[in-house]
Amino acid sequence: MSYAIKEIFLTLQGEGINTGRRAVFLRFAGCNLWSGREEDREEADCTFCDTDFVGTNGDGGGRYADAAALTAKVVETWGLGIEEAAPNSRFVVLTGGEPMLQVDEALIDALHAEDFTIAIETNGTIPVPESIDWITVSPKAGTEVVQCSGNELKLIWPQPGSNPDEMEAWAFDHHLVQPLDGTSLNDNRMAAIKFVIQHPRWRLSLQTHKLIGLR
């Protein structure tokens, strides 16, 4: 299987429980909830995405012929020799778009063979293989979420039509609320803080990479 990749880059994880961790971000092209074109946003199932996942023209992007070729690029991006100073530290985040449109066992096995801990950020509408090490689901109101278990549930807030009370019954280790970015970010941040104050099972997640100028 070949893979359409928007970009691959080294950064620090900016959101959730793994905030601050050195990571290779492997961004897959394409999504099942929005085409990525602005003219389609208003009618999309997800109208607030802040990520460019269209095409394969980003840093490290392209069409990779197989899992071995893509994994080799991830290893190169992590940095040869780095793991010798920090064993068991290799960390890759599969994101998009929607990575589960392309992620398969061949890629998971190849990344594990190179000692990567694999995290995924998904909208939860496609089942995630149990072989992935860290599962973050960010549900979108009005969609059918089938991946109702994992490590992190990250609810973008405010999100009309979402049912946080129902989500509390889902089998996640951590329930996170993250302010919706955009022109109303300050108001949304205060709304998220208020939500957490009133719902102590949830924790606040911030996009710290944006606050400190990372990708």
Angle CA(200)–CA(136)–CA(202) in degrees, nearest 5? 5
pLDDT at 83: 62
Segment 178-192, tens digit of pLDDT: 999 999 999 999 999
Please report the sign of the dihedral spanned by the C-alpha atoms of residue 32, residue 8, residue 130, residue 206: negative
Among candidate residues 19, 51, 56, 77, the one labeled active-site is 51
Continuous H helices in the chain: 67-78, 82-85, 105-113, 164-167, 185-198, 208-212
Among candidate residues 15, 28, 49, 71, the one labeled active-site is 49
Other beta carbons within 10 angstroms of residue 94's beta carbon come to 25
Q: Tell me, yes or no, if 136 is annotated catalytic.
A: no
Provide the CB-side half-sphere exposure for 51 (13 A, CA).
Answer: 21
Q: Tell me, yes or no, if 112 is annotated catalytic.
A: no
pLDDT at 85: 59
Cβ neighbors of 197 (< 8 A, separation 6 or more) are none
pLDDT at 84: 61
pTM higher than the cut 0.85: yes
Segment 54-112, tens digit of pLDDT: 999 999 999 999 999 999 999 999 996 676 656 679 999 999 999 999 999 999 999 99
**Confidence label for 1 from pLDDT (cuts 50, 70 and 90):** confident
Segment 3-44, tens digit of pLDDT: 999 999 999 999 999 999 999 999 999 999 999 999 999 999
Domains of the chain: 3-152 (3.20.20.70)
Among candidate residues 7, 15, 98, 121, the one labeled active-site is 121
pLDDT at 137: 98
The answer to whether 3 touches 97, Cβ cutoff 8 Å, is no
Q: Which amino acid, residue 213?
A: G
Q: Tell me, yes or no, if 31 is annotated catalytic.
A: yes
Question: What tokens appear for 215 in the block?
Answer: 């990708």
**Confidence label for 215 from pLDDT (cuts 50, 70 and 90):** confident
